[in-house]
Structure 1
Amino acid sequence: MQIKQFEYKPLSHYSYTIISEGKMAVIDPERNPQQYYEHAEKNNAKIVAVIETHPHADFVSSHLEIQKKTGATIYNSEKLGADYKHQFFDNENEISLGETTLKAINTPGHSPDSITVVATKGKETVLFTGDTLFIGDVGRPDLREKAGNMKSKREELAEMMYKTVTTKFSHLPDNSIVYPAHGAGSLCGKSMSDANKSTLGDERKNNWAFQKQSKEEFIDTLLDGQPFIPSYFGFNVDINKIGADNLKPSIAKIPFFANTTAKGLIVDVRDEKAFKKGHLKGSFNIQAVSEDSKFETWLGSVIEPKENFTIVVESKKDKDVILQRVAKIGYESLLKQIITISDENLETSPKLDVQDFKSNPNNYTIVDIRNKSEVEKASFFKDALSHPLNDLRNTVEKIPTDKPIIVHCAGGYRSATGSSILQSKLKNIIVYDLSDAVEDFK
């Protein structure tokens, strides 16, 4: 049994392949399937199965595209209610992959249709736990109240998760390897470890969810302090239930125009320094200059899945990478065009005199755009107003405008987006980005 883990860092997503005697299964694949094809070819293996542990909320899966290209069978829970051709994979169902046996355990809690895949060969046992069991945590239970074929209240799912943790893994040995679908940084849980795998024995010892506690204590802990839910999560659940269109033709339809302008909703993905030097009026600066930046998360949090938008890039060579990233969350269907801009008729962003701010903080209105849970743990400024970035477009009118405004986050990435939103929405008001100078105030 040959297992390979694939990581997509911006979404903290892990997908997997299993190869046994020339046959390969793909588990929870990301939007671009090319890496799985290349891995199969390199190992002289045939892709015969694609397994979805649940309909993912934070990324678009390529399960349907892989099926179309390879003829592989898609497996998922009957409870998912998938609209594409598939086979049910629930309790006691098995898949033979060479000399490896794959079994399904229904493990509801993150979603009502979640499964865990148990792979065995000889004495070796491996668990692909999807968003049910993470390293150090379990999946959040509050994403399916408004999305998906089967809707469940968070309290009901939290109770399901308690039953899953206390009963569904008890027959499995401590040395079972645990491979989750996400790691630290994902919004599908709240306290995940940086580790990319574990053993069931270690999770029984160290994961809070396995410790002795009442059902009520478990549910209270699970529901408390969960992060915000990005706007695009329900949108992705629905796409994954239907099955996404093939990637390449989907992004090939997006036109590119050089040295032009645009109206409507504009997302400028350039570095914040280039954006502040000159940008189209009304643009939002959601940076995508780093391979590890959380661009997809913030694009899908700031822009609603019903909104069409234009993207501004630095140069044409950035187009293909940005299209791939936009498609990770299915937003290529909302993207009207990608453009570069000329140097004419651009707006600039004012530069903050940090020393003046340090000396005269009361002369400014300070807006803290960190998540609610971050603010509850620590505040950098006593009088800062909390307006989390994911909801800032809706709360901007509540921000006082009698003083210049300073926007801050925890490190500088999000404040570039937040300050650009306020600059767009608040006319004739000076808006500053504290950026990475926030480090001086920690």
Structure 2
Amino acid sequence: MKIKQFEYKPLAHYSYAIISDGKMALVDPERDPMQYYKLAEENNATITAIFETHPHADFVSSHLQIHKETGATIYASKKTGADYPHTPFDDGDSVTMGNATFTAINTPGHSPDSITIQANEDENIALFTGDTLFVGDVGRPDLREKAGHLKAKREELAKMMYKTIQNKFTNIPDAALVYPAHGAGSLCGKGMSADASSSTLGNERLGNWAFKNQTEEQFTSHLLSSQPFIPHYFGFNVSINKDGADVLSKSIGNVSIQLNVSEIEDDTLVIDTRDEADFKKNHLPNSINIMATSATSKFETWLGSTVKPEEPFYLVASSIDQISSLLDRTAKIGYEKQIKAVVTLSNKDLKQTPKLDVAEFKNNLDKYTIVDIRNQSETEEGLFFDNAHTIPLHKLRENASNLPSEKPIVVHCAGGYRSAAGSSILENQFPNSTVFDLSDAVTEFKK
């Protein structure tokens, strides 16, 4: 049994291919299946099975596309209420592929329909735990109150998770390998280890807080506290994954491209993905600067946190070479159908963002309205400025009107990436005010 882990870093997502005797199974595949097809071809293997551990909230899966293109059987819990062709896979169900046997374990907690896939071949055991068991943590229980075939309150799911951890892994040996669907940086949990992408059940029993001797009340209290924010797109992705997403190439192939644009015809939102320096020099009105300048930038997270599902927008690329990548990244969260067009900008003078005189600002803080757009957990640990107004970035568009705008506005986060988006949001909100981005100069003000 050969196991290959795939990582998509911007969403800290892990997917898996398991090869045995010329056959391949996939677990929680991401939106673009080509990397799995390439691995199958390289190993002269046939993809015969796709396992979905639950309807994912933070990314769009390609399970239905793979089924259509390979004929592989999709396995998912009957509790999912899936609308795509599938074989129910729950406690007691198993399927053999090559020399490996895959068994379903119902492990509710992150969602009511979560399953863990146990793969056995000879003496080797691997657990594909989805968003149930992470390295150092367990999945958050607060994402299924308003989404999915089965809805459950966070308190109910936290109690389910306690029972899952207490009972579902009891008879599995310490040597079993643990392969989760996410690592550190994912919003599907709060305390995942940044040191490893996989583990053993024995190591988790020793080091994971969830396996410690504790009461249900102690467990649920810890699990429910201080969970990260929930982006707008999470419930939307649960619905997409329950139905099964469209074939990627067809879906992004319908998006039009417009080159050398100097204006747009309406007041539709513009998402400008260029570097903040280029954006500040020249951008279209009604633009938000969500940078997609590196392979690891959190573009998907902040796009899905700032823009609501089904809200139309234009997408600005820095060059022709970036267009394909931008479409793929936008499709990772199922937002490609909202794109009115991908555009590149002309060389004409468009809108500019003024540059902050940091020294003048430092000496005259009371002359500015300072807006801290870090997450609540960050601001609770302390403010950079005593008189700052705190609105997390994911809530800024909806709450910006509550800010005073008589003074020049200075926006900051913790390092500069988010403040580029935040300052551009406020620039749109307050066209008659001067809005500055403190950017990475914020490090000069750390207490």
Specify the TM-score bucket, using the shorter chain as the normaliser.
Answer: over 0.9
Write out per-residue CA displacement over residues 43-102 of structure 1, whole angstroms, 9 at most, x where no aligned residue: 011000000000000000000000001100000000000001100111011110111111
SS in 2 for 1:187: coil
SS in 2 for 1:82: coil
Q: Distance in 1 between matches of 2:208 and 2:75?
A: 29
Q: Which amino acid aligns with 2:282?
A: G
Counterpart of 1:436? 440
1:54 and 2:54 are equivalent in the alignment? yes
Q: Shift of residue 345 of structure 1?
A: 4.8
Does 116-125 or 340-349 show the bigger shift? 340-349
Q: Shift of residue 306 of structure 1?
A: 2.3
Q: Distance in 2 between matches of 1:286 and 1:222?
A: 31
Write out per-residue CA displacement over residues 406-426 of structure 1, whole angstroms, 9 at most, x where no aligned residue: 111111000000000000111
Write out per-residue CA displacement over residues 190-237 of structure 1, whole angstroms, 9 at most, x where no aligned residue: 111111011111111111111111111111100100111000001100
Counterpart of 1:29? 29
Counterpart of 2:134? 134
Q: Distance in 1 between matches of 2:347 and 2:374?
A: 32
Q: Shift of residue 378 of structure 1?
A: 3.0
Counterpart of 1:184? 184
Q: Distance in 1 between matches of 2:420 and 2:26?
A: 38
Q: Distance in 2 between matches of 1:410 and 1:344?
A: 33
1:424 and 2:425 are equivalent in the alignment? no
1:390 and 2:394 are equivalent in the alignment? yes
Counterpart of 1:221? 222
Counterpart of 1:45? 45
Match of 1:355 among 333, 355, 359: 359
Asked if the contact 2:310/2:335 (under 8 Å) is kept, the reply is no
Q: Which amino acid aligns with 2:177?
A: I
Q: Which amino acid aligns with 1:58?
A: D
Q: Distance in 1 between matches of 2:156 and 2:292?
A: 38
Q: Which amino acid aligns with 1:12?
A: A
Q: Distance in 2 between matches of 1:100 and 1:335?
A: 43
Counterpart of 2:210? 209
SS in 2 for 1:36: helix
State the Cα RMSD in Å: 0.8
Counterpart of 1:375? 379
Q: Distance in 1 between matches of 2:384 and 2:75?
A: 48
Counterpart of 1:99? 99
Q: Distance in 2 between matches of 1:91 and 1:214?
A: 26
SS in 1 for 2:203: helix
Q: Distance in 2 between matches of 1:273 and 1:35?
A: 34
Q: Distance in 1 between matches of 2:402 and 2:428?
A: 15
Counterpart of 1:364? 368
Q: Distance in 2 between matches of 1:84 and 1:94?
A: 20
Q: Distance in 2 between matches of 1:162 and 1:385?
A: 38
1:346 and 2:350 are equivalent in the alignment? yes
Does 156-165 or 261-270 show the bigger shift? 261-270
1:334 and 2:377 are equivalent in the alignment? no
Q: Distance in 1 between matches of 2:185 and 2:372?
A: 20
SS in 2 for 1:101: strand
Name stretches of at least 5 consecutive residues in structure 1 with no aligned partner.
none
Q: Distance in 2 between matches of 1:193 and 1:221?
A: 17
Q: Shift of residue 375 of structure 1?
A: 1.1
Counterpart of 2:90? 90
Q: Distance in 2 between matches of 1:428 and 1:408?
A: 20
SS in 1 for 2:237: helix
Size of the aligned set, in residue pairs, is: 442
Q: Distance in 2 between matches of 1:184 and 1:356?
A: 38
Does 89-98 or 106-115 show the bigger shift? 89-98
Q: Distance in 1 between matches of 2:44 and 2:349?
A: 56
Matches within 5 A, 1:251-262: 251-260=252-261, 261-262=263-264
Q: Which amino acid aligns with 1:400?
A: P
Asked if the contact 2:145/2:153 (under 8 Å) is kept, the reply is yes
Does 359-368 or 126-135 show the bigger shift? 359-368
Write out per-residue CA displacement over residues 296-341 of structure 1, whole angstroms, 9 at most, x where no aligned residue: 0000110000201111111222110100000000101111101111
Q: Distance in 1 between matches of 2:22 and 2:197?
A: 26
Following superposition, which runs of at least 4 residues in structure 1 exceed 2 angstroms of deviation? none
Q: Distance in 1 between matches of 2:232 and 2:125?
A: 37
Q: Which amino acid aligns with 2:4?
A: K
Q: Which amino acid aligns with 2:269?
A: L
Q: Distance in 1 between matches of 2:58 and 2:442?
A: 29
Q: Shift of residue 439 of structure 1?
A: 1.4
Q: Shift of residue 123 of structure 1?
A: 1.4
Q: Distance in 2 between matches of 1:29 and 1:415?
A: 32
Q: Which amino acid aligns with 1:128?
A: F
Write out per-residue CA displacement over residues 360-411 of structure 1, whole angstroms, 9 at most, x where no aligned residue: 2222111110111111123222221110000100110111112111111111
Match of 1:415 among 408, 416, 419: 419
Q: Shift of residue 144 of structure 1?
A: 0.4
Asked if the contact 2:372/2:412 (under 8 Å) is kept, the reply is yes
Counterpart of 2:283? 279
1:115 and 2:115 are equivalent in the alignment? yes
Write out per-residue CA displacement over residues 414-442 of structure 1, whole angstroms, 9 at most, x where no aligned residue: 00000000001112111110111111122
SS in 2 for 1:258: strand
Q: Distance in 2 between matches of 1:406 and 1:115?
A: 47
TM-score by length of 1: 0.99
Q: Which amino acid aligns with 1:342?
A: S
Q: Distance in 1 between matches of 2:345 and 2:380?
A: 40
Asked if the contact 2:94/2:101 (under 8 Å) is kept, the reply is yes
1:270 and 2:291 are equivalent in the alignment? no
Q: Distance in 1 between matches of 2:429 and 2:310?
A: 20
Q: Distance in 1 between matches of 2:382 and 2:96?
A: 51
Does 134-143 or 362-371 show the bigger shift? 362-371
